């Protein structure tokens, strides 16, 4: 009985210690990557290549998802708003929900699944096949050559992707609200323009997406670098990237929202 | 894939990303007409501002001519002092009446300006002397009920 309790406590302690160690390792890893920022920008083609893989190749999924989310918001929003006789507020509702929340958050979740998993798998496989060690043998720092460009490529891509998501979502809401349901186009846009504030809504949305970009890419490169060098290790690390990044984005979104929009 | 192709694609990506941000700022956020237009500030003291909030529009004849910048309570008179920022191209007479109005029954609250006939114009830092407070629905209902009750009492006597 006492032994069992002790063993349980021991396991809890070990788990806590491991989690804290991992967090510390991840933080030191981030600092090391940030220290290699100059190389990522001095050798710009490397970073551009990563923007291509993380950003350009995510364009289609982001724009299409944004369009569909916007159209669904238009339909559901109209259904609810028309009960209160204020269906002309549809543009406001669609735009505010997209710019403040859905744009940054859903774009970050899609980004974690589309680009984050690819980053982890690539770095993990390079580690498993000893390519990272081979680089070190040739006196090439893998942090500077591989990790830092991937990190900055993701961080730079994310705000653009979120803005695209929001913009195509607003367009989707316009398609449903004005073209399909037949709301007045003037009321749709002017109510939106009266309610959406540049500083409060749009700038805060961009800040959110930048923070999410750092979180997702940081987790992705760290999980890749920390992979157990086996086939299962790579698959486990890829899964962990998507799960951890999604949870971290949602939690960070709550915290940011508390600071940005409380009392407004 | 060659470096030039990647460069072109990244260029396209960044361009449409920036385009989306500009679209959101201009078309949705209406950046050009709201915050950047140069303007002047005037104050208006109200007995009760009702549901007026900062950033609420200031309208003259239904046209938005400015925004409410801040609302404070005067510690001496216990009146609410709203600072209105009005776009420079619009000028109003000194005896302009500022009233707090609501668009529709449940719509947004805004400050309406009714121009008078004074020769002098409002300028930065001036205070609008004639104001009309917000109509508080609860008070109206209360008054109505009171009237009804007293008239009923008069009938039964």
Q: What local confidence, expressed as pLDDT, does residue B128 receive?
A: 85
Where exactly are the structural domains of chain B? 1-32, 39-142
Q: What local confidence, expressed as pLDDT, does residue B32 receive?
A: 61
CA closest to B32 among chain A residues: A198
Q: What local confidence, expressed as pLDDT, does residue A113 receive?
A: 94
Among B73, B146, B137, CA closest to B100: B137
Among A165, A182, A174, A162, CA closest to A94: A174
Average pLDDT in chain A = 91
Is pLDDT of A172 > 90? yes
Q: Looking at the partner chain, which of A160, A199, A202 has a beta carbon nearest the beta carbon of B14? A: A160
Q: Spell out a b/e string for A164-186, using b for 16 or more CB atoms within 10 Å of the CB, else e.
A: bbbbbbbbbbbebbbeeeebeee
- Backbone angles phi and psi of B21, in degrees to 5: -65, -45
Q: What local confidence, expressed as pLDDT, does residue A166 receive?
A: 94
Asked if A61 is an interface residue toward chain B (Cβ–Cβ < 8 A), one would say no
Q: At what angle do helices A59-83 and A103-111 cross, to 10 degrees?
A: 150
For the stretch A9-53, pLDDT in tens is: 999 999 999 999 999 999 999 999 999 888 888 888 888 999 999
A41, A44, A52, best to mutate vs chain B, most B CBs in 10 Å: A52
Residue B50 structure tokens: 């009702």
How close B147 gets to chain A, by Cα (Å)?
31
Q: What local confidence, expressed as pLDDT, does residue A78 receive?
A: 93
- Within chain A, strands assigned E span none
Contact A202 B24 (CB under 8 A): yes
Asked if B142 is an interface residue toward chain A (Cβ–Cβ < 8 A), one would say no
Contact A58, A159 (CB under 8 A): no
Measured between beta carbons, the chain A residues lying within 8 angstroms of B14 are 51, 160
CB atoms closer than 10 angstroms to residue A36: 18
- In sequence order, what are the residues at sequence separation of 6 or more whose Cβ sits closer than 8 angstroms to the Cβ of residue A53? A115, A118, A153
Place of tokens 């029954």: B105
How close B95 gets to chain A, by Cα (Å)?
28
Strands B63-73 and B80-87: antiparallel
- In sequence order, what are the residues at sequence separation of 6 or more whose Cβ sits closer than 8 angstroms to the Cβ of residue B31? A198, B25
CA distances from A78 to A66, A72, A106, B32 (A): 18, 10, 21, 28
Is pLDDT of B126 > 90? no
- Determine what percent of chain A falls in helix, strand and coil, rounding each to the nearest 5: 90, 0, 10
Residue B145 structure tokens: 């009920």
Contact B9 A161 (CB under 8 A): no
Q: Give the 3-state secondary structure of residue A170.
A: helix
Average pLDDT in chain B = 83
For the stretch B10-59, pLDDT in tens is: 899 999 999 999 888 888 776 665 555 678 888 888 888 887 877 788 88
Asked if B14 is an interface residue toward chain A (Cβ–Cβ < 8 A), one would say yes
Asked if A94 is an interface residue toward chain B (Cβ–Cβ < 8 A), one would say no
Asked if A164 is an interface residue toward chain B (Cβ–Cβ < 8 A), one would say yes
Cα A192 from chain centre: 26
How many beta-carbon contacts under 8 Å exist across A and B?
87
Q: At what angle do helices A148-174 and A103-111 cross, to 10 degrees?
A: 130
Asked if A192 is an interface residue toward chain B (Cβ–Cβ < 8 A), one would say yes
Among A157, A163, A62, CA closest to B26: A163
- Backbone angles phi and psi of B43, in degrees to 5: -105, 150
Asked if A45 is an interface residue toward chain B (Cβ–Cβ < 8 A), one would say yes
- In sequence order, what are the residues at sequence separation of 6 or more whose Cβ sits closer than 8 angstroms to the Cβ of residue B25? A198, A202, B31
How close A228 gets to chain B, by Cα (Å)?
30
Asked if A95 is an interface residue toward chain B (Cβ–Cβ < 8 A), one would say yes
For the stretch A189-209, pLDDT in tens is: 878 887 888 888 899 999 999
CA A156, A162, A167, A172 dihedral sign is positive
Q: Which of A:194-253 have CB within 8 Å of B?
A: 194, 196-199, 201-202, 206
**In percent, how much of chain B has pLDDT > 70?**
90
- Sheet harboring B97-102: ordered strands across? B127-128, B39-46, B80-87, B63-73, B57-60, B109-114, B97-102, B130-132
Q: Which of B:37-56 have CB within 8 Å of A?
A: 55
Please tell me the distance from the alpha carbon of residue A234 to that of residue A46, in angstroms, as a whole number. Answer: 23
Please tell me the distance from the alpha carbon of residue A32 to that of residue B86, in angstroms, as a whole number. Answer: 51
Q: What local confidence, expressed as pLDDT, does residue B31 receive?
A: 66
How close B52 gets to chain A, by Cα (Å)?
13
B37-A207-A112-A140 Cα dihedral, nearest 10 degrees: 110
**In percent, how much of chain A has pLDDT > 90?**
73
Contact B12 A52 (CB under 8 A): no
- In sequence order, what are the residues at sequence separation of 6 or more whose Cβ sits closer than 8 angstroms to the Cβ of residue A127? A224, A225, A227, A229
Contact A56, B9 (CB under 8 A): yes
Measured between beta carbons, the chain A residues lying within 8 angstroms of B67 are none
Q: Looking at the partner chain, which of B1, B13, B108 has a beta carbon nearest the beta carbon of A51? A: B13
CA closest to B14 among chain A residues: A160
Residue A186 structure tokens: 């003037």
Largest CA distance in chain B: 99
Contact B29 A49 (CB under 8 A): no
Please tell me the distance from the alpha carbon of residue B70 to that of residue B54, in angstroms, as a whole number. Answer: 5
Measured between beta carbons, the chain A residues lying within 8 angstroms of B34 are 197-198
């Amino acid at each position: 009985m006492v032994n069992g309790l002790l063993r349980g406590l021991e396991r809890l302690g070990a788990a806590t210690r491991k989690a804290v160690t991992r967090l510390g390792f991840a933080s030191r890893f981030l600092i090391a990557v940030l220290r290699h920022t100059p190389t990522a920008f001095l050798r710009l083609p490397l970073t551009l290549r990563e923007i291509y893989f993380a950003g350009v190749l995510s364009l289609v999924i982001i724009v299409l998802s944004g369009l569909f989310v916007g159209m669904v918001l238009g339909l559901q929003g109209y259904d609810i708003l028309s009960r209160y006789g204020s269906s002309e507020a549809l543009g406001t509702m669609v735009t505010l929900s997209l710019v403040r929340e859905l744009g940054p958050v859903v774009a970050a979740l899609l980004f974690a699944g589309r680009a984050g998993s690819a980053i982890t798998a690539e770095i993990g496989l390079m580690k498993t096949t000893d390519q990272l060690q081979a680089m070190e043998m040739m006196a090439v720092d893998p942090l500077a050559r591989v990790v830092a460009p991937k990190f900055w490529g993701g961080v730079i891509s994310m705000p653009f992707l979120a803005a695209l998501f929001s913009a195509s979502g607003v367009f989707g809401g316009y398609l449903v609200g004005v073209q399909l349901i037949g709301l007045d186009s003037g009321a749709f846009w002017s109510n939106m323009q009266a309610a959406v504030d540049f500083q409060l809504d749009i700038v805060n949305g961009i800040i959110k997406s930048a923070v999410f970009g750092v979180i997702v890419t940081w987790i992705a490169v760290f999980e890749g670098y920390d992979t157990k060098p086996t086939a299962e290790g790579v698959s486990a690390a890829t899964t962990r990237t998507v799960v951890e990044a999604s949870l971290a984005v949602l939690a960070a979104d709550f915290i940011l929202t508390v600071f940005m929009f409380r009392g407004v | 894939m060659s470096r030039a192709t990647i460069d072109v694609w990244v260029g396209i990506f960044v361009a449409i990303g920036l385009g989306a941000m500009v679209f959101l700022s201009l078309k949705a956020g209406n950046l050009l007409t709201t915050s950047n237009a140069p303007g002047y500030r005037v104050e208006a003291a109200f007995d009760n501002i009702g549901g007026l909030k900062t950033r609420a529009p200031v309208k003259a004849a239904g046209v938005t001519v400015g925004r409410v910048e801040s609302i404070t309570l005067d510690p001496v008179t216990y009146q609410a002092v709203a600072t209105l920022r009005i776009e420079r191209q619009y000028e109003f007479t000194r005896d302009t009446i500022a009233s707090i109005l609501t668009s529709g029954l449940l719509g947004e609250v805004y400050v309406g300006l009714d121009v008078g006939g004074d020769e002098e114009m409002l300028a930065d830092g001036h205070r609008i002397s004639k104001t009309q407070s917000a109509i508080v629905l609860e008070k109206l209902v209360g008054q109505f009920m009171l009237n009804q009750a007293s008239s009923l009492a008069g009938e039964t006597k």
